[in-house]
Chains A and B, each alone.
Chain A
Amino acid sequence: MFETIGEMFKLSFVNRAIIVGSLVSLCAALLGVSLVLKRYSNIGDGLSHVGFGITTVAVGLGATATLPIAIPVVIIVAILLLKVGNNHKIKSDSAIAIISSSALAIGVAVTSVTSGLNTDICNFMFGSILAMSISDVILSIAVSIIVLFLFVVYYRKLFAVTFDEDYSKAIGLKTGRYTNLIAILTAIVIVVGMRMMGTLLISSIIIFPALTAMKICKSYKRVVIGSGIISVFCFLVGIFFSYVYNISTGAMIVIVNLILFLLFTFLDKVIKE
């Protein structure tokens, strides 16, 4: 096993994937705690579809760098979706379903009339560790540092808004600002992580680590830290097996997350009994 790990680290694309993947997994897991607790779990799925749609449109229009186009569009959609969540006239799950299926349909239609379903598009759909270029790595590191910095700075306020939004508003917190912050950071993490995890699987690294951590951690701080550790651990194990058995990276990471979730659910039940 150590020989295989050593062999992996000799490959530059694997090193790039490990750096980006670890950072994105960490950021996704931290944001995931708030999203899961605020019952916005589906938003990650919706945003990744929007990310796919806009990326294929950008590629179809001949853009070489897709991230600078995809990030602002996905941020706008994320803010709109969270606003819909607070509007009782429209059900937020319906809005997410409409937006995600429409974005995916646009993406597929644009692909059909332009490049066709080539390797690039498949990588966007299912993820690939080969997809990370040096510019992606630099952008991902920069974005992840910003996300981590903002998360730490606003940790207390994000906790207050996540636990009880009405109370936070009543004592004078600008809750809309913090909800938007969660939306913006989530959108960025999804777009950055999409290339490696794939459109169809990226939302799982937001949801799984938080849910797994909640099975055994009994304080918010521990859930946040535990979620981050679980996420990075699952990513590293996932990428190892993905390399060894030549399985799609995104799929392998989700499978490791699922196994850990089931294991922690079992442990939680045993402890309670």
Chain B
Amino acid sequence: MSIIKIENMSFGYTNSSETLTNINMEINEGEFVAIIGENGSGKSSLIKCILGLNKIQKGKIVVNDRIGYLPQLTEIQNNFPATIEEIVLSGTIPDNVFKIFYTKDDRKKAEDVMKKLNLYDMRKKCFDELSGGQRQRVLIARALCSTDKIIILDEPVNSLDSKVVSGIYDILNDLYKNKGITIVMVSHDVERCIKYCSRIIEMENGKIIKDINSKDYKKKEA
């Protein structure tokens, strides 16, 4: 079943130029999709359109579920004075319910997610005391508190060392294979995308130039 559907979508940061041109794609439940391409090819702009952060000029995007989002680490205030627990809990916030305090269910959900990602024992630690890999785990946990259906990640392993990168991919692989969570990830790491993802979308100059499963992509690359 389709969870995201994009039809004839175009987007530009100014009215005179198009960053994304005539994008058509569909993401189905249970897929692990990598969006790859050179810098400036439109990968991050595309996911920001899906998330509603960029206002599209043409076409339409239909999203059938609440999305959890993992922004680039550079977009996060690394010296923010908040504990892991506070950040993970903030993922449970809905807009349509008048709730002043976190409920027992919210706390249970955050606790389960933190235990799953080995964050529970350090939940009182401040965000600014964490390493890059730990911060990414916190942000994945927050995304999982928002939804257990689909998460979108914008270059989740950028500027992390290789050991930490493997750990992050293991977590994503577990979410995809064992928890059935749909994952859409922007990445430059083609090799790992072929290894872990089920489908690869390649972009160039704001257009999708390839959209195939990762095995076929590997054969074509070879």
Contact = CB atoms under 8 A, between A and B. Distances in A.
Nearest to A160: B90
B93 A157 contact: yes
A166 B75 contact: yes
B117 to A, nearest CB: 17
A217 B51 contact: no
B80 A159 contact: no
A169 B86 CA distance: 18
Interface string B154-192: 000000000000000000000000000000000000000
A155 B67 contact: no
B142 A172 contact: no
B83 A171 contact: no
Contacts of A166: 48, 51, 53, 69, 71, 75
Contacts of A172: 66, 94-95
Contact of B67 (A153, A159, A170, A223): A170
Contacts, number: 82
Given A156-B102, A170-B51, A164 B126 contact: no
B126 A219 contact: yes
B136 interface: no
A269 interface: no
A37 interface: yes
A156 B81 contact: no
B100 A214 contact: no
B41 to A, nearest CB: 20
Contacts of A173: 93, 95
Interface residues of B, number: 35
A171 B91 contact: yes
B74 interface: no
B95 A163 contact: no
A221 interface: yes
B124 interface: yes
B82 A170 contact: no
B77 interface: yes
A222 B83 CA distance: 10
Contacts of B71: 164, 166-167
Looking at A152, A157, A172, A217, which has the most chain B CB atoms within 10 Å of its CB? Answer: A172
Given A169-B51, A171-B146, A160 B93 contact: yes
A10 interface: no
A171 B68 CA distance: 7
Nearest to A167: B69
B148 to A, nearest CB: 13
B81 A223 contact: yes
Contact of A218 (B69, B90, B98, B126): B126
Contacts of A153: 98, 100
9 contacts: A155-B100, A156-B102, A164-B71, A164-B75, A168-B93, A170-B52, A171-B146, A173-B95, A219-B124
Given A152-B100, A159-B90, 20 more contacts: A37-B80, A156-B99, A159-B82, A159-B86, A160-B93, A163-B80, A163-B90, A164-B76, A166-B53, A166-B71, A167-B142, A170-B53, A171-B68, A171-B69, A173-B93, A174-B95, A214-B81, A220-B82, A220-B86, A223-B81
Listed from nearest, the 6 A-B pairs whose CB atoms lie closest are: A218-B126, A170-B51, A220-B82, A170-B69, A160-B90, A219-B83
